[in-house]
Amino acid sequence: MRRRETLTAGAVTATMAAAAPAAAAPGGGRGPKKPPGNGHSTPPGLAKKDTLAFAAGDTLKIGCAVAGGGHHTEADYPDPFTSDQPYREVLAREFTSLSAENQMKWDYLRPAAATYDFTDADAIMDFAEAHGQVVRGHTLMWHNQNPTWLEEGDFAPAQLRDLLQEHIATVVGRYAGRMQQWDVVNEILDDDAALRTTGNIWLRELGPGIIADCFRWAHEADPDALLFFNDYNVDGLNPKSDAYYTLIQDLLAEGVPVHGFSTQGHLSTRYGFPSDLAENLQRFADLGLQTAITELDVRMDLPEDGEPTPEMLEKQAEYYRRVTEAALSVKGCSSLTLWGVLDKYSWVPGTFPGEGAATVLWDDFSRKPAYYAVQDALAEASGRAGHPALAR
């Protein structure tokens, strides 16, 4: 394992020093603790060139989900994006792309049928622009995180169709020209690779033709944004990714403006690595599509004391490295997004009991082997090895 602990004080800019967490206790916070003596003592102030963003260069956009909403609303900490300044500094410094973890979902944007609340979505857009980052919009049509007034409302199909069309026109239109990619439809297939014709309100009430309409409406509202299908468990070649492959070919043949296919990449070291990831993305690229990895995290089964062993961390790093290398190897895979960067804000512990430690940083902002794995894979592809003071 390589270490970089030779960072000189001179390499630490005033801004970076200001980003240091006020009272960073190693392994503090809610996530698993950092195992003692594992050598991860990177100082909190980081040199500008010692970042994922620098290592990526122009190879691909390296992104992160912006924590807020969703499971965070029940957590005992304040809204991360608007109140955690050191975390904001990390988002600004390490990444070239941002995704709204929850702030652009229906339940967040639509407190009532007649109202929109764009406060936090706008703040993410402004933050990204202030830091020269692109944004991935997430998401316009989904079976989850819809407001109660919608799911339990008494709407006729024609009304639902109008609501969806108006939503897409309004939301996509608001950020037209400023959004790099939109996850237009999210998770429309279930675990048996069948369309979610009961659980997804839009598919249930309006039929599968609504999928093409969503893409058409989004394209009308922002002809510059790249429009994606996004789902989980479609990392490798399997019946679910096969179903997307067929569906997208049909839509392209009909002239529907579909531009991309993305796999979320919620991985667990419990399962084998999807070694055909690159091959899978490549077949979509061969259709002329962009591809992306949009929600990468690699969780693990935590030991009883909650602290991953060095071996577990190395295995996780290997997964992160292989995903990064796969993304870099596919032409037209232009975006790799991590679904969070600190365990204390990750959705994993609440969603997968007993699993955790899924992100690349410890809660005190020091780096796991997984961070270096991503950084090294990016640097290898870009030729940007980093600051001379950090040479190994």
Q: How far is the CB of 342 from ligand XIL (least distance, A)?
A: 13
String of contacts with ligand XIL for each residue 157-196, x by CB under 6 A: -----------------------------x----------
Structure tokens at 159: 């009304």
Q: Which is nearer to ligand XIL, 273 or 352 (CB)?
A: 352
Question: CB count, 10 Å around CB of 59?
Answer: 21
CA distance 308 to 303: 6
220 is annotated as an active-site residue? no
Cite the beta strand spans of the chain per DSSP E: 61-66, 97-100, 134-141, 181-186, 226-231, 260-263, 266-268, 290-301, 333-338, 355-356
Q: How far is the CB of 139 from ligand XIL (least distance, A)?
A: 6
CA distance 371 to 374: 5
Q: Which is nearer to ligand XIL, 4 or 71 (CB)?
A: 71
Q: How far is the CB of 152 from ligand XIL (least distance, A)?
A: 19
CA distance 29 to 364: 8
CA distance 297 to 360: 8
Q: Does 264 bind ligand XIL (CB under 6 A)?
A: yes
Q: How far is the CB of 234 from ligand XIL (least distance, A)?
A: 12
Interface with ligand XIL (CB under 6 A), residue from 38, 96, 102, 180: 102
Interface with ligand XIL (CB under 6 A), residue from 101, 120, 235, 297: 101
Q: Which of 295, 304, 314, 355 is catalytic?
A: 295
187 is annotated as an active-site residue? yes
Q: How many residues does the chain have?
A: 392
Q: How far is the CB of 107 from ligand XIL (least distance, A)?
A: 10
Q: Which of 187, 205, 311, 318 is catalytic?
A: 187
Q: Does 30 bind ligand XIL (CB under 6 A)?
A: no
Of residues 124-163, those binding ligand XIL (CB under 6 A): none
Please, are residues 306 and 68 in contact by the beta-carbon 8 Å criterion? Answer: no
Of residues 284-303, those binding ligand XIL (CB under 6 A): 295
- Alpha carbon of 116 to those of 112, 212, 230: distances in Å? 7, 24, 24
Of residues 341-380, those binding ligand XIL (CB under 6 A): 347
Q: How far is the CB of 145 from ligand XIL (least distance, A)?
A: 6
Q: Does 71 bind ligand XIL (CB under 6 A)?
A: yes
Q: Which is nearer to ligand XIL, 185 or 381 (CB)?
A: 185
Q: Pairing mode, if any, of strands 290-301 and 355-356?
A: antiparallel
CA distance 348 to 76: 16
Amino acid in the structure at residue 15: T
Q: How far is the CB of 75 from ligand XIL (least distance, A)?
A: 9
Structure tokens at 269: 């070291």
CA angle 194, 219, 96 (to 5 degrees): 90
Give the binding-site size for ligand XIL (rule: CB under 6 A). 9
Q: Which is nearer to ligand XIL, 264 or 280 (CB)?
A: 264
Given the structure tokens 């950020």, which residue do they identify?
A: 175
Residue nearest ligand XIL, Cβ-based:
70
CA distance 273 to 177: 37
Structure tokens at 369: 């082997």
Interface with ligand XIL (CB under 6 A), residue from 45, 70, 236, 356: 70
**What residues make contact with ligand XIL under the rule CB under 6 A?**
70-71, 101-102, 186, 232, 264, 295, 347
The set of catalytic residues is 187, 295
